[in-house]
Structures are given as structure tokens and as C-alpha cells.
Structure 1
């Protein structure tokens, strides 16, 4: 939580949100992806029969949800309906729950980025509208700055025709080279990313993270991906996702509690973030050394690494692999001299 709070304090935090985030801030009123498709079935003649064939109760569903959406889209065309417009109409009716105090507090006070595959505008409602920009495929890209920027990589209800819903839409999205696909890559590489409201087994999530992993292997950056899970996750599973995708899992933590803890941690981190960056800059640029009293602190190493990640793109600190290794060698040699003079 210290690393995440430090990223927030230094404006290097990005949330990657899925359906579970919308469900959490609407008291479970927002539909799941499958639930949304089941609602669409009811808008068709013989909808119950179609729903039963696509979502059988006694066996696994025969198609992926994207393929299922394609089937429903074809059926909707036959009755002069458009699946994108129907989805937008359903999502537009979803409202925030009243009990979002900790989430709203963070969203209205901090500067950060959000990448979301959700179509709704709930994130924008949580943040103060005059401090938030909503970026959606099919609409003009604002050039001004904002405290909160929300990138709807799968589209939003503001532009239904550009929403990624069916398997055909997903194919175009994955194989396209749009502003949003490039921005997704950039934001993942430059920020600490906290994944909220996804399943660890989500295929789309793993495809995106795999791209990030390929980048991180060729650049000197630490793992900066965190996954928040409401349920318990076995340690073996945690080890697997860290080894394969560089994801650190925070389990037994729902979204409301996550933001409560983050807000509490921020009150401490704000006081030390600026001081840590200043002292790290002096060590890097002026050849100074950290004080022994600082190095012996429990979280000193995290402060140093977080400060290095914060100043690297902002203060002219550019590491080659050899240079970074040399700096760490000198740092640990200094620690050893303190421990074994």
C-alpha cells in the first residue's frame, strides 16, 4: 500500500478498471458482462429460448461472451435493433450507490489516470466533473490538462457505435493501431497500475499484461502492477501471476476497503514523498549518501526505488541497464559498510 500511495502522491498512479469496479460502486446494481447479454436476449422474439441455448443452466456456455454478443447482435439486426445502442441504453440507467465515501474522497482530491473497459460514466461521476476528462473512441481528444483522465479503451455510452461489444469489434480493437491502443501501452509503462474489478483469469486482461511484460523485460523498470482481489488467493497462484505477468496480488480486500486504506496511507506519504525525491536527486546527481538513520528505516528501500521511478522521466535521470546496476551495487556496498565497518 505504501508503493501505491507513493505513486498517487507523485502523480504516477493509474487504475485499470473492469466490470467489478462498476458493481462495487453501484451496490451490485451494474450488470455483469454475462448479465448484460442475458438482458439483451429478453428484447428479442423467442428471447427465452435463445437465452437458454446461449447460457444453458446444466453445462458450460458454448461460446465466449464476445462470440455470444455477436450472435445476439445478428438476431437484433433482424428486428431492426442495434446491439451497441441497446447496450448503451441499459448502461445509461445504472447509478452510483450512496455509500462511496472513501472512493469519492480519493477521486475528487487526487491526480491520476484511469483505463477502463467499462462503457459507463461512473468514474467521471465519482470525480469532480470540472477536474475530469473523459476520452472515448469516436469523439474529439481534449488537449487540455485535467486532474483525472479516464480512457474508455472499449468505448463508452457517449459514442455507442464505437463500443467494443461483439467478437468482430474485439478483433478490430486487438488488431488496430488506434490512439487508445497506443495510449494504453504508454500509461501501463509509465505508471504504477492498480487493477480493480477484474478476474485474474480474464483473457483480455492477460493479453494486455503480456504486452506489458514483453516491454518490461527489455527496459529497466520494476514490477509496478497490483491486482486487488476481494476474495482470498492461494500463495501458489500469487507466485504464478508474479512470475508470469509481474502482478502482485492484494487479496481479501474489497474496493471500498482498498480506498479507505489508501486514503489513510496517503496522509503519511504526502509528507515524505517530496523530501524523498529531493534527497534521492542529491544522491544521484551530487554523489551524496543516504544517512544511516534513513537507511535503517523499515520502508527506506521502497522509498528510494519509488523516488527513482518518479524522478526518472521528470528530472533527466535516464538509466541504462549497466548504469542502473552500477548505482545499485554502490548503494548496497554502502549499506554493507554501515553494517560491517
Structure 2
């Protein structure tokens, strides 16, 4: 991709503002592994495996379904796949979901880790660290699952409508702590909605969707599902990853929304509402998708699908919270700031253990922090920092520590870094404490990590009116 690609920059902006949802299809999981396996089977591969499982129970039906799956001169259509899937579900009965689970286990590859990163491990890591508002998937394998996930249906197999509220009725940018970090476990939760069921979940709550009847039930029998997707397509920027656009009912829902928005789309009005990473170098195809499907293609060519990983990596570099913090602090210069020696943040708090999480985030982002535990340790050279953080420090019968610190800075005179009071939550006194801190010259008052990160974004980003 060219440096500073405007498509990438526009998409990154949507992610940072908390408006982007990832839609993950089967192609995302089918990354090659060192042992030759390609992860979960393709749609055709899964149906062929289920035919082999059926062979012991009903060899004649299995043979006929296998013949149905043999390529013809015209190829197999989505209807063929759905019809065979429905026949297999009918014939296998209660053995159907266990057979699907077996197929997925056989295709599963070693998960990989930091020391032995597989392509799929890295791809999954990038997806988790980009602060998407949510990740929707039609896959029912466990590639995207995390055993630590406990929010709604992210990996436990609950009905996907449990996540509808969080996606449709909550908002905020990349700084929303719940989107990208779990302070207690140290893991990054993924707001995952499994639209087509969960292979290791409860079939009564989130059954696997593979047959023709299943698709018909989702689209026409359950208004919640179709209304949810229409709302997502209409109100969120969607990034399609590993999606082939062969699901007729998803295309139909997109078409409804596209017609609704069509008067506002076009090169002279608004950009396309959706993006897709797709293997193509055909300029006419790229133009068609943008003009007639409302999709801005992020194309790639060459052998394999390394291009998908390149786009994902580039988006991660621009939007992952740690990367974003690094970029924000690099963009801002402190007064007399010496990049080789000066610290970025001076943080006053006698109880340093309260802020260990923040210290870790800043360290990972390459932000240099100097901590002080006594107010008398505050020095004039700290004015060269880019940001000063302090606790509120209520003291009965005396002015709060934050007010004393602000007074000390005022007495020194001259320019000073912005001061943000990062206080413990106190619902009864928060408004009063904030007003007091601002009155004495604090830039802002925050009580939660997401509030602190939002303050940093707005403080260091020119579009919010404050420049370096």
C-alpha cells in the first residue's frame, strides 16, 4: 500500500472515534501453518467431512450428497452448499453439532505465542488490539475465542442478541477502557458476536447455522437478527475481513441499507460506509465495489494472503491504544523539552501501587514517566515535561495536595505542562473536587482510565483545538 494511503487514514479515523465494527469471515481463519494445516476447513471441506461422518450411518445418502458436492462446469452455488448442509443436519440429527466440532478440532493448529508466532496467532492478536467497537463473525470455530472473555456472548456460546445493547447503545473512542484492556487479567477483551452459532457453545442458545432452513430462520423468522444487522450496517463503519460476499442474505441486507443511504454517497458527497480487504488488482472491480456496493476496497495482490496481514498491521499501527499513545506523545513538545533526556510525564502520588496499570501502559507505549511521592520533590525542571499527573489528595483542614501542587507551579511562573488530576472515584464529591481543581489551574479532572486516555487524546490532538 502507498505511504499515507487516504483510504487507510480515513478508516483509522473511524476506528479511533469508536465507529468501526469488524466483520470477520471464513477467509480470516484460513491462514497456513508451519505443519501444512490451514486452520478450520472451508465451507466445502466441512460439508465433505460431514459426508464422511454420515457414511457409517447412511452410506447411500452420504454417497449422493458427496456427488452433489462434486464440481460441475458451472461450479457450486451458495444454494448448493446450503441445501447439502441442510440435508446433512437432517440426517445426522443430534450428532450434527458434535460432528462439526470434530471437524474444527481436526483443522485446529497450534495457537502460537510470542516466542512462536504463527500467521493466525499474529492476525488474531492484531484484531484484538485494534479498538473495534465490536467484532461480528459468521464463523463458528474457536479461532477468535478467548477463555478469559466474560462479556455477553464473546466466547461462551450465548445467544448473540445478548451483545446487541453494548454495540448499539454504547459509544466512545479508542480510549474506552473496556474495548481494549482488562486491568485484572491483563488480557484484551474482544467484543465478539457469533452470528452463525458457536461450535463449542450451547446448541440451545446459539446453534450452528449451516443449512438452508437455518438461514431462512435467521433472515425471516427472527426479526431481531435482521434488524440488528441493518442497524449495524446503517450506523457503523464496517470493515470486512476474509469475507467473500457470497452470502445472499447478507448481501440483501446490505443492499437495503445501501438504498437507504444512496442519496448521500458518492465522490462529491460522502465516502463509502464500508471497507473490505480483498485480493484483487482489477481497477474496474475496485471501482464497481465503491460506486455500486458502497464498499471501499483495500486491495492486495501476489501469492497467498499476506496482503490482508499488511493492511491489518498498518491499521494496528495507527489505532492500537499503545500505538496511539506513543504517537500522541511524540507529536507534542514540552517547554524546553530535550527528546534525549527529558521525561514525558511527571506523576505525583504517594501510593504508587495505585497506578501500576497506567505505568505499564505508558512503558509499553514508550512514554517516559518520572514518579514522585512527596510534593517537596517537585522541581522546576519538571516544567519541561509534556504532562503532569497528580492525585487530588484530600486533607482534612488543609487544601488538597493537587491545589498545593498547582500553587507551587504558579509561583514558579512561566510556561508549564498541562496538569491533570487523576483521582479516586468519589461520587459524592467528584463535581466539587473537579471545580476546585479547575479553578486553581488544572487542565482536567479524571477518575477512570478511559477518562484519562480521552483527556490525553483531546489535549494532544490538533483537531480538538490544542496543538503542540
Asked if Structure 1 and Structure 2 have the same fold, meaning a TM-score greater than 0.5 normalized by the shorter chain, the answer is yes
Answer 1 or 2: which has greater helix percent. Answer: 1
Q: CA deviation at 1:169?
A: 0.7
* TM-score normalised to structure 2 length: 0.51
Equivalent pair of 2:138/2:195 in contact (CA under 8 Å):
yes
Q: Is the 8 A contact 1:119 1:155 kept in 2?
A: yes
State the shift of 1:202 in Å.
4.3
1:29 corresponding residue in structure 2: 39
> Corresponding residue for 2:244?
199
Partner of 2:139: 118
Please tell me whether residue 278 in structure 1 is matched to residue 455 in structure 2: no
- The answer as to whether partners of 1:137 and 1:153 remain within 8 angstroms in 2 is no
Q: TM-score, normalised by structure 1?
A: 0.68
- The number of residues matched between the two structures is 276
Residue by residue over 1:218-253, the C-alpha shift from the partner in whole angstroms, topping out at 9 and shown as x without a partner, is: 668641211101x32411112222222111111116
Report which of the two structures shows the higher radius of gyration computed on alpha carbons.
2
Name the structure 1 match of 2:398: none
1:115–1:184 contact (8 Å) kept in structure 2? no
CA shift, 1:201, in A, is 4.4
Give the conservation status (yes or no) of the 8 Å contact 1:21–1:197.
yes
CA distance in 2, matches of 1:138, 1:76: 23
Q: Using the alignment, how far apart are the partners of 1:129 and 1:137 within structure 2?
A: 12
Q: Residue 86 of structure 1: CA displacement?
A: 2.4
Contact 1:69 1:165 in 2 (8 A): yes
Return the alpha-carbon distance in structure 2 between the equivalents of residues 194 and 30 of structure 1: 22
CA 1:192/1:85 → structure 2, altered by over 3 Å: closer, same or farther? same
Indicate how the Cα distance of structure 1 residues 201 and 128 shifts in structure 2: closer, same or farther if over 3 A, else same. same
Q: Cα distance 1:191–1:240, how it changes in 2: closer, same or farther (>3 A)?
A: same
Which deviations, in whole Å up to 9, do the C-alpha atoms of 1:290-332 show, x marking residues without a partner? x9xxxxxxxxxxxxxxxxxxxxxxxxxxxxxxxxxxxxxxxxx
Q: Which runs of 5+ in 1 are unaligned?
A: 283-290, 292-341
The equivalent residue for 1:56 is 70
CA deviation after TM superposition for structure 1 residue 132, in Å: 8.2
Equivalent residue number for residue 169 of structure 1: 214
**Is residue 8 from structure 1 mapped to residue 53 from structure 2 by the alignment?**
no
1:237 equivalent in alignment to 2:285: yes
Residue 339 of structure 1 corresponds to which residue in structure 2? none
CA contact (8 A) 1:91 1:119 kept: no
For residue 259 of structure 1, the aligned residue among 305, 312, 324 is 312
Cα 1:58–1:214, aligned 2, differ >3 Å: closer, same or farther? closer
2:272 to 191, 201, 223: 223
SS in 1 for 2:234: helix
Q: Who is 1:104 aligned against? A: 125
Q: Deviations over 1:82-119 (max 9, x none)?
A: 42342234335635454233541451463531111111
Conservation of the 8 A alpha-carbon contact between 2:233 and 2:257: yes
Matched, 1:74 2:74: no
- 2:154 aligned residue: 134
Q: Distance in 2 between matches of 1:131 and 1:139?
A: 11
Q: Secondary structure at the match of 2:136?
A: strand
Counterpart in the other structure of 2:81: 65
Task: Report the RMSD for the aligned CA atoms in angstroms.
Answer: 3.4
Aligned counterparts of 1:112 and 1:190: Cα–Cα separation in 2: 12
Tell me the secondary structure at the aligned position of residue 173 of structure 1: helix
Residue 356 of structure 2: aligned partner: none
Residue 251 of structure 2 aligns to a residue whose secondary structure is: helix
